[in-house]
Amino acid sequence: MVKLADEVQAQQKKATRAAYGATLAELAGEGVPVVAVDADLTGSTTTKKLADAGYADRLFNCGIAEQNMIDVAAGLAITGHVAYTGSFAVFGTGRVYDQIRNTVCYSNLDVKIAPTHAGISVGPDGGSHQMLEDISLMRGLPNMRVLVPADYASARAALRLAAATPGPVYVRMGRASVPCVYADDVDLEIGRAYVLREGADATIVACGVEVEQALKAADMLAAEGISVEVIDAFSVKPLDEDTIVASVAKTGCVVVAEEHSVLGGLGSAVAETLARKHPARAEFVGMRDTFGKSGEFEELLDYFNMGAAAIVEAVKTVMAAKLL
């Protein structure tokens, strides 16, 4: 079992993006040849912390030119550096998809695509900046691994894993402060999913900020006598198929929750796995093929039916279908 946050930690909130610059500074201090290439957002992405820690010569600000940012990172990777790119997810994956595909992934370069401000947690920035297709884009690329941390501690672990893993890695981070799920020094692995709560009636597979919502939903369901298993699919690609299939084989049904479109993301990855290995009833909590709206993060979770209450209803729906 991984180390989870204690009751005091669980009340604390930190943004996953807050781990970015601080972790890069840690890695630099340990002798890892990390560099950060940003697109004029060093304060928002927190890559500025790398420079503030005494490594200003490792931070490259390319200005508002994200395509160039990826190409500069690729060049730095070719010269032996572990290159991280920073921007908002809507620009750091969508605007630069061609460069990520043909320059980074095609050549299997040691570039880590690690944008912040993904999903509806961007909140008041509105639908134009709420990137909800990035997991789909990145998991479809050969050579790319995809990590979606649930909190600050797992974001730190993801960034460190990216440095230790040769080749392209996508680390998805958000803007909003979210409750702690894991202990500060949690150690995670690429290709692993983590059972955070055991149950018998249904499985909930979640990633990112939806992990904490899934745990809330589990508490709400437990009060009604329903026992659910909660799995953090921290590594969306490669997916830990064995853990997910074993859980669904036990419970007989699954709900997948993600702060992302229901098309092409974690839900699709889980459905593809179950179709091949263990067909079962499934429901999906996520964005329903639409753009976001401006609003506070918590308001948007409820508005788009992506919060704990929506997960509860999805569990009841899939359990009823299982009995048919």
Among the listed residues 26, 66, 210, 258, the single catalytic one is 66
- The alpha carbon dihedral of 129, 132, 137, 143 has a sign of positive
Cα radius of gyration (the chain):
19
Report CA dihedral (141, 149, 169, 65) to the nearest 10 degrees.
90
**Beta pairing class for 235-237 and 145-147:** antiparallel
Structural contact between residues 255 and 318, judged by C-beta atoms closer than 8 angstroms: yes
Is 298 one of the annotated active-site residues of the chain?
A: no
The token pair that represents 274 in the structure block: 């179950």
E-only strand ranges, the chain: 13-15, 34-38, 59-61, 82-86, 111-113, 145-147, 169-171, 177-179, 194-197, 202-206, 228-232, 235-237, 253-261, 281-287
In angstroms, rounded to a whole number, what is the distance separating the alpha carbons of residues 169 and 16? 16
Q: 164 CB contacts (<8 Å, ≥6 apart)?
A: none
3-state secondary structure 145-198: EEECCCCHHHHHHHHHHHHHCCCCEEECCCCCEEECCECCCCCCCCCCCEEEEC
Q: 205 CB contacts (<8 Å, ≥6 apart)?
A: 193, 231, 233, 244, 247, 254, 255, 256, 257, 266, 270
Q: Using omega within 30 degrees of 0 as the cis cutoff, is the peptide bond preceding 166 cis?
A: no
Residues annotated as catalytic are 66
